[in-house]
């Protein structure tokens, strides 16, 4: 079941790549997608305890979060622009390292959280050990923002709904 | 005509953010803060420029152009997906290598010398 | 510098290189003779098939040479700088990203190989990208994981098979009574017209090249990264 | 529209020059690697824009994707290199224990 859905996904990507729909190239696409599925399908969806249906539900819930993330990326770029173009000797820059605990269980949720922290204004995830994140923050205002756990709850609502 | 305007606006905004990233890479005081400029200044600007180009490509609508626009969007997704990871990898390498975190005090010491 | 002004303009159709009879033949007749829109591929894999075949052999030989120089068997390197090297658990973020990326990279590599006729690409480029996907696994986890996925013996077999595929197409046309690497005759054993046979054989040849390049890329990387011990490395 | 694309390409190219400063001066090696990574991202965008100027986007998009890919792999490999090859690195106690096991 997982293999079939991976095959369909890869074939969809092939169609975007290819742009030619004659029989010869479509056959090549089918062969290629099947070949990649054969040799490396275990790389997608490492944790297969949940069914395909649950996975699809998770994917459906994802876009809203991604849109919110896009807005955050815009904010972080404006933040960088403002800092970079501020005159004088960069009054606002006050770097510090912070350790934060997270309640997320799954690896994928942690990955999502770490990348989201990297993309939101003023913070970068340096390291992740167990459930502890080491974060570098660029100014005092953003250090305060790290303690806020709204992002974590958003991710938990997507990937770990049954736990909460 | 509308398509052209949208494209010009998006690409120009993207270039503006590129300026932010480039200036940040030069001006910021230590490795970690420069990493902030390098890692974040790029994502949104790449997104804006490439989406602008994809919109322009869609302006002259046909199946082939739509697929090319899809490919451009795929590059965007790829970069926004890979960028946080490479940022993380590089900054972690910097930490392992023993880069110092810059503070206000360093600045004062420098000026006293 | 004074001679630069006498050079033909960039892309000038009347420049000596372009007005030579052979070039004009390539430009005008490629599509009729081979039904391949991308002229470069046609010249590379068909008109100059010998060149490309021996380029593949050169890559193969280079890989073998590097293995011969670097590879160390046995446990005689026990005391070689072990204490400073230490293997770590794979980093969660890098590991997850690469895990999701590897199948897509492989698909892209196959796309580049398969569309060498229509857009730039072909065996060499696609092979490099495919090899990069193995290298990405070795970088994101460690060399052991990649070795488990594609063992050393299998990768060398693949390199050999790549050259054999190329030579096999040549021999096939030789057996059917034509010159070496003259693919048109292969239409007798392929369900295609002679012209299509040329284009399809070019694809087969590209696949052979891709096998060799993939295998040699990864084997060079793993030998260089692990000092030839194939145990630990980048 | 063509002139706008040419302008955008030149602007991106001009923005690479200040980053070259970081490559030449940059106090440590890893600063330089970061700068190379930034230039690589810009090059990806520049390739798509060049495709727009030459009216051959469908071709240049492939180049851009490949370049982005190799840039990513390159920076990961460089980071991994620094991760491991550092004779002065001091291990924490837990890490030493892990190694002894």
CA–CA separation, B77 vs A47, rounded Å? 23
Residue-level pLDDT at A47: 66
Contacts of A89 in chain B (CB under 8 A): 107
Lowest mean pLDDT among A75-89, B42-56, C22-36: C22-36
Among B41, A47, B38, C228, residue whose Cα is nearest residue D23: B38
Report whether pLDDT(A163) > 60. no
Q: Is B28–A17 a contact, with Cβ atoms under 8 angstroms apart?
A: no
Q: What is the pLDDT of residues D14-43, one digit of tens each?
A: 988 888 888 888 778 888 888 888 898 899
The continuous run of DSSP H or E covering A99 comes out as strand A93-101
Residue-level pLDDT at A99: 82
Break chain C into its structural domains and give their ranges: 1-34, 38-225
CA–CA separation, D88 vs A6, rounded Å? 45
Mutate to test the interface with C, among D47, D54, D76 (most CBs of C within 10 A): D76
User: Is B82 touching C (CB cutoff 8 A)?
Assistant: yes
Contacts of A118 in chain B (CB under 8 A): 39-40, 84, 87-88
Residue-level pLDDT at C76: 54
Q: Is D76–C121 a contact, with Cβ atoms under 8 angstroms apart?
A: no
How far from the centroid of its chain's Cα atoms is residue A103's Cα? 17
Q: Is D41–B22 a contact, with Cβ atoms under 8 angstroms apart?
A: no
- Which ipTM value was assigned to this complex? 0.86
Mean pLDDT estimate for chain A: 79
User: Is C125 touching D (CB cutoff 8 A)?
Assistant: yes
D69 vs C84, C129, C234: nearest CB: C129
Tokens 């050259």 belong to C163
- Per DSSP bridges, beta strands A93-101 and A123-129 are unpaired
Report whether pLDDT(A89) > 50. yes
Q: What is the pLDDT of residues D49-87, one digit of tens each?
A: 998 888 888 888 888 888 998 899 888 888 887 766 554
Domain containing residue D37: 2-100
Q: What is the pLDDT of residues C96-151, one digit of tens each?
A: 888 888 888 888 888 888 887 777 777 888 889 999 888 888 888 777 777 888 88
Residue-level pLDDT at B27: 82
Q: Is A95–B16 a contact, with Cβ atoms under 8 angstroms apart?
A: no
Q: Is B92–C101 a contact, with Cβ atoms under 8 angstroms apart?
A: no
Q: Is A119–B37 a contact, with Cβ atoms under 8 angstroms apart?
A: no
Among C108, C99, D59, C125, residue whose Cα is nearest residue A14: C108
Residue-level pLDDT at C81: 47
User: Is C93 touching B (CB cutoff 8 A)?
Assistant: yes
What average pLDDT does this structure show over B1-28?
86
Tokens 């081979």 belong to C34
User: Is C86 touching D (CB cutoff 8 A)?
Assistant: yes
Check if the beta carbon of residue A86 is closer than 8 Å to that of residue B20: no
Residue-level pLDDT at C144: 76
Break chain A into its structural domains and give their ranges: 2-43, 52-159
Q: Is A44–C99 a contact, with Cβ atoms under 8 angstroms apart?
A: yes
Q: What is the pLDDT of residues B69-95, one digit of tens each?
A: 888 888 888 888 888 888 888 888 888
CA–CA separation, B10 vs B15, rounded Å? 9
What DSSP state is assigned to residue A42?
G
Residue-level pLDDT at A164: 38
Give the 3-state secondary structure of C112-142: HHHCCCCCCCCHHHHHHHHHHHHHHHHHHCC
C175 vs B8, more confident: B8
What average pLDDT does this structure show over C185-206?
77
Q: Is D55 left (phi over 0), alpha (psi -120 to 50) or beta?
A: left
Residue-level pLDDT at C83: 45
Distance from CA of A14 to the nearest CA of C (A): 7
Confidence of residue A90 (pLDDT cuts 50, 70, 90): low
All chains having 3 or more CB pairs closer than 8 angstroms to chain D: B, C
The encoded tokens of residue C115 equal 């569309």
Q: Is C8 left (phi over 0), alpha (psi -120 to 50) or beta?
A: beta
Residue-level pLDDT at B107: 61
Q: Is B24–A84 a contact, with Cβ atoms under 8 angstroms apart?
A: yes
Number of domains forming the structure of chain D: 1
User: Is C99 touching A (CB cutoff 8 A)?
Assistant: yes
Question: How many CB atoms neighbour CB C217 within 10 A?
Answer: 22
């Amino acid at each position: 079941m997982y293999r079939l859905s991976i095959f369909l996904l890869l074939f969809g990507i092939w169609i975007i790549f290819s742009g030619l729909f004659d029989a010869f190239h479509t056959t090549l696409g089918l062969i290629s997608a099947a070949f990649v599925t054969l040799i490396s399908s275990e790389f997608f969806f490492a944790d297969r305890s949940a069914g395909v249906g649950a996975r699809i539900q998770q994917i459906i819930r994802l876009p809203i979060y991604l849109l919110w993330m896009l807005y955050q990326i815009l904010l972080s770029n404006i933040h960088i622009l403002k800092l970079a173009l501020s005159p004088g000797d960069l009054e606002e820059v006050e770097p510090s390292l912070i350790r934060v605990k997270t309640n997320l269980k799954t690896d994928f949720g942690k990955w999502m959280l770490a990348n989201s922290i990297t993309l939101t204004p003023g913070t970068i995830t340096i390291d992740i050990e167990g459930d502890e994140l080491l974060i570098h923050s660029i100014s005092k205002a953003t250090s305060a923002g790290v303690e806020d756990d709204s992002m974590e709850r958003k991710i938990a609502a997507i990937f770990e709904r049954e736990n909460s | 005509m509308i398509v052209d305007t949208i494209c010009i606006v998006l690409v120009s905004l993207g270039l503006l953010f590129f300026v932010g990233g480039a200036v940040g890479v030069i001006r910021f005081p230590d490795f970690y803060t420069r990493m902030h400029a390098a890692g974040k200044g790029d994502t949104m600007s790449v997104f804006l420029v490439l989406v602008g180009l994809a919109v322009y490509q869609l302006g002259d609508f046909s199946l082939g152009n739509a697929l090319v626009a899809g490919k451009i969007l795929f590059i965007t997704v790829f970069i926004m997906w890979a960028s946080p990871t490479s940022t993380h990898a590089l900054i972690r390498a910097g930490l392992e290598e023993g880069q110092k975190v810059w503070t206000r005090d360093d600045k004062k010491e420098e000026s006293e010398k | 510098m004074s001679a630069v002004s006498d050079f033909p303009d960039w892309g000038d159709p009347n420049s000596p290189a372009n007005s030579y009879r052979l070039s004009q033949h390539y430009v005008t007749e490629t599509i009729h003779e081979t039904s391949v829109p991308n002229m470069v591929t046609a010249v590379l894999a068909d008109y100059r098939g010998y060149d490309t075949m021996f380029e593949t052999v050169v890559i193969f030989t280079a890989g073998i040479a590097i293995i011969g120089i670097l590879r160390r068997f046995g446990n005689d390197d026990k005391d070689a700088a072990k204490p400073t090297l230490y293997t770590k658990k794979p980093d969660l973020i890098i590991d997850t990203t690469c895990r999701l990326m590897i199948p897509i990279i492989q698909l892209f590599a196959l796309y580049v190989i398969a569309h060498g006729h229509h857009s730039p690409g072909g065996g060499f480029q696609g092979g490099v990208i495919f090899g990069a996907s193995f290298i990405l696994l070795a970088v994101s986890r460690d060399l052991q994981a990649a070795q488990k996925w594609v063992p050393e013996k299998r990768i060398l077999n693949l390199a050999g098979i790549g050259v054999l595929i190329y030579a096999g197409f040549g021999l096939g046309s030789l057996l059917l009574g034509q010159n070496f690497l003259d693919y048109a005759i292969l239409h007798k054993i392929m369900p295609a017209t002679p012209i299509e046979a040329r284009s399809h054989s070019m694809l087969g040849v590209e696949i052979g090249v891709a096998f060799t390049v993939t295998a040699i890329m990864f084997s060079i990387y793993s030998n260089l990264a692990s000092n030839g011990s194939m145990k630990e490395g980048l | 529209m063509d002139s706008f694309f040419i302008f955008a390409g030149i602007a991106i190219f001009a923005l690479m020059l200040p980053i070259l400063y970081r490559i030449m001066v940059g106090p440590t090696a890893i600063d330089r690697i970061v700068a190379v990574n930034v230039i690589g991202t810009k090059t990806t965008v520049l390739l798509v824009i060049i495709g727009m100027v030459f009216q051959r986007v469908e071709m240049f998009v492939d180049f851009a994707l490949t370049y982005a890919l190799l840039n990513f792999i390159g920076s990961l490999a460089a980071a991994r290199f620094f991760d491991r090859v550092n004779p002065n690195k001091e291990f924490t106690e837990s890490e030493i224990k892990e190694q002894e096991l």
